[in-house]
């Protein structure tokens, strides 16, 4: 008897990814007896899930050009839902940060307005990209404005991730890894754009 592995796509993929984020967060909070430390751990964990989901959406088009395969094509096809799952993961991340601030009164006074600017800008673009990821809002703003917003937003969020990991390197050498991954992802995306442009030039040259 043949058994097929169910393929998740569209909203089912978004639901699965979001559920996994919630399950992970719930387990961290339940299994750690210290709620303050558990919340801190959940903040770090959701930062990593958000980072992974963002990288998948950010690199989808580059992989499709540089490493064409059914997997890379599916990444492009599901990029919208991966992006929405990223937004959901970062929403959970934000709720955890707020909760940690309530549990630890010293948290918010220890932060500066300037220090909060990159994260605030990042969240603003995440919100804008999320609410314009539906057909209705796309029609309202128009295809040209939609593309400009999403390209700009992806690069702004990439810059925020890069800066956030870079500034934490003095706190822990571990942050060299995500910083390096983000730099490599930016380079791959630029190479992918160059390769796509080169293919278009060659295609026009033979037509």
Residue 153 — pLDDT band, cuts 50, 70, 90? very high
Quick check: 48 pLDDT over 90? yes
Tokens of 36: 């303050």
Kindly calculate the radius of gyration of the chain based on its CA atoms and give it in whole angstroms: 19
The confidence score (pLDDT) of residue 111 equals: 79
Mean pLDDT of 128-147: 91
Query: pTM of the prediction?
Result: 0.88
Half-sphere exposure of 108 (CA within 13 A, CB side): 8
Quick check: 204 pLDDT over 70? no
Residue 2 — pLDDT band, cuts 50, 70, 90? very low
DSSP state of 142: -
Distance CA 31, CA 26 (A): 8
Measured CA to CA in angstroms, residue 6 lies from 9, 97, 116, 120 at distances of 10, 35, 42, 38
Report the percentage of the chain scoring pLDDT > 90: 69
The confidence score (pLDDT) of residue 203 equals: 67
Quick check: 207 pLDDT over 80? no
Is the dihedral angle over the CA atoms 48, 51, 57, 63 positive or is it negative?
Answer: negative
Residue 100 — pLDDT band, cuts 50, 70, 90? very high
Enumerate the domain spans of the chain: 11-205
Distance CA 122, CA 46 (A): 15
79 close to 60: Cβ distance less than 8 angstroms: yes
């Amino acid at each position: 008897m043949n058994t097929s592995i169910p393929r998740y796509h569209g909203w089912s993929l978004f639901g699965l990814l979001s559920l996994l984020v919630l399950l992970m967060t719930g387990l961290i909070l339940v299994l750690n007896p210290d709620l303050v430390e558990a919340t801190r751990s959940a903040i770090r964990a959701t930062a990593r899930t958000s980072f992974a989901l963002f990288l998948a959406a950010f690199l989808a088009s580059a992989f499709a050009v540089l490493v064409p395969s059914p997997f890379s094509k599916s990444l492009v096809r599901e990029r919208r839902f991966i992006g929405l799952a990223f937004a959901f993961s970062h929403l959970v991340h934000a709720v955890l940060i707020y909760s940690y601030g309530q549990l630890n009164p010293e948290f918010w006074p220890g932060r500066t307005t300037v220090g909060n600017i990159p994260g605030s800008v990042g969240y603003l673009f995440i919100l804008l990209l999320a609410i314009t990821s539906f057909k209705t809002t796309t029609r309202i703003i128009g295809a040209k404005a939609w593309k400009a917003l999403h390209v700009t937003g992806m690069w702004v969020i990439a810059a925020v991730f890069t800066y956030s990991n870079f500034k934490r390197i003095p706190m822990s050498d571990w942050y060299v890894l995500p910083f390096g991954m983000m730099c490599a992802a930016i380079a791959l995306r630029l190479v992918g754009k160059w390769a796509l442009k080169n293919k278009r030039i060659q295609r026009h040259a033979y037509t």
